[in-house]
Amino acid sequence: MSHGRFDNPIVAALAGFWDLFRKQDLSDKLTDDDRFDGKTLLVTGANSGLGFAIAVEAARRGAHVIMAGRSKIPEAGDKVKKLSGSGKVEMRYLDLSKLDTIHQFAEGLERDHIKLDVTILNAGVALAKARKTDSGLEEMFLVNYLSNVALTNLLLDKGIVDTEKTNSCKPRILFISSDSHQGSSAVDYDEFGTFYEYGPSKGISDYSYFKLLLNTYATELSRRVNGQEIKAGINVMCPGPVHSNIVKEAPFLIRIVLKGIFKIIFRSPEKACLPVIYMSVSKDYEGVTNQYQHMFNVKDMDPKVYDPDEGKKLWDRSINLWKEVDPAAIQVNGL
């Protein structure tokens, strides 16, 4: 059976504590001159926490921001407009636990001739017990992993993320992951996509394990999109410990303890979003792909993530599983 690095949410939360004292090598590389003027940026899970802060900061730096989310529409978007002073902010409905909304979302972008310069796959959940979605898949597996496969494939297939762009500004895709993926077990293909019941400790363990899947997929996507030449910068980052709403589904007492830890120790989303902005806009990331940053430090992911055989196997199994649960699933030409 698969397992992640932690099976205790409080230990998992405290593990991030030391990261806050590490030197942040690249933190002075992001300057006020790093701007998105003329660029369109999508961020999923944009109504809360890190995603919301990314939306504000990107809008402040001149981006046309598309905030995707399943709740607080349009309030969160109105708040981003107010905080950033930008009118170039819109919200679109996307519930990653419902596969049909992913298709509708992508079709909406296509219909409106949107081309994304920056795509940030940020949405995520940490569930304390299993929930079955309409597709039959477990919700955390779907939202944190397989829906990101579906969304990126649809965006690439429709040319919304245009990898054939001839100018130097290649599109960027950034996966928001977690350093807790390090040390997760290898992908367990016997249980891949199978619904099973779990409680809080297996839930926290699966959260890290699904981030390992996400990172392995991102690495394989980068390999497939970028053959001889870099057509898109496809990178992964962990924001470090963020004072957000990620623990909202934890059991009551654990939630109270975690909220306290988050409030006292963790960084604000406004601060935590800065390395995300750096990777999304900086010239330092032009032509860079398959790089992992833990906050403002470049680092290696778990070694399993880089294994090409594992990447291919996970890709094939993921696309096949998507096809099994979604009659509208697609296979992108050339990938």
Ligand X SMILES: NC(=O)c1ccc[n+]([C@@H]2O[C@H](COP(=O)([O-])OP(=O)(O)OC[C@H]3O[C@@H](n4cnc5c(N)ncnc54)[C@H](OP(=O)(O)O)[C@@H]3O)[C@@H](O)[C@H]2O)c1
Q: Which of 102, 238, 301, 319 binds ligand X (CB under 6 A)?
A: 238
**Cα separation of 142 and 206, whole Å?**
12
Site for ligand X in 104-143 (CB under 6 A): 122-125, 143
Q: Are strands 118-121 and 172-176 parallel, antiparallel or unpaired?
A: parallel
Interatomic CA distance for residues 152 and 177, integer angstroms = 15
Residue 69 in contact with ligand X, rule: CB under 6 A = yes
Q: Which residue is nearest to ligand X (CB)?
A: 49
CB of 145 to ligand X, least distance (A): 11
Q: Does 45 bind ligand X (CB under 6 A)?
A: yes
Indicate which single residue of 24, 27, 185, 245 sits in contact with ligand X (rule: CB under 6 A). 245
- Decide: is 43 part of the binding site for ligand X (CB under 6 A): no
Q: Does 54 bind ligand X (CB under 6 A)?
A: no
274 φ/ψ angles, rounded to the nearest 5 degrees? -65, -45
- Cα separation of 288 and 157, whole Å? 22
Identity of the residue numbered 208: S
Per the CB < 8 A criterion, the answer to whether 238 and 12 are in contact is no
**Interacting residue with ligand X among 48, 208, 222, 318 (CB under 6 A):** 48
Residue among 9 and 241 whose Cβ is closer to ligand X: 241
Q: Which two tokens stand for residue 150?
A: 């579906």
Contact with ligand X (CB under 6 A) among 62, 233, 241, 275: 241
* Contact range with ligand X by CB under 6 A, out of 95-103, 110-118, 215-223, 290-298: 95-103
Cis? peptide before 74, omega within 30° of 0 = yes
Q: Which is nearer to ligand X, 137 or 170 (CB)?
A: 137
The one-letter amino acid code at 167 reads N
Q: How many residues bind ligand X (CB under 6 A)?
A: 27
| Only segment of 3-11, 156-164, 234-242, 308-316 that touches ligand X (CB under 6 A) | 234-242
In three-state secondary structure terms, 323 is helix
Choice from 70, 88, 255, 317 touching ligand X (CB under 6 A): 70
Residue 152: both structure tokens together: 């990126």
280: contact with ligand X by CB under 6 A: no
Query: Does an H or E element contain 174, and which?
Result: strand 172-176
CA distance 159 to 115: 7
Q: Report helix, strand or coil for 292.
A: strand
Nearer CB in complex with ligand X: 86/97: 97
Distance in angstroms (rounded) separating the CA atoms of residues 13 and 297: 20
Using rule CB under 6 A, residue 178 touches ligand X: yes
71 binds ligand X (CB under 6 A): yes
Between CA 99 and CA 139 the distance in angstroms is 11
Q: Which is nearer to ligand X, 99 or 161 (CB)?
A: 99
The contact set with ligand X (CB under 6 A) reads 45, 47-51, 69-71, 94-97, 122-125, 143, 176, 178, 238-239, 241-242, 244-246
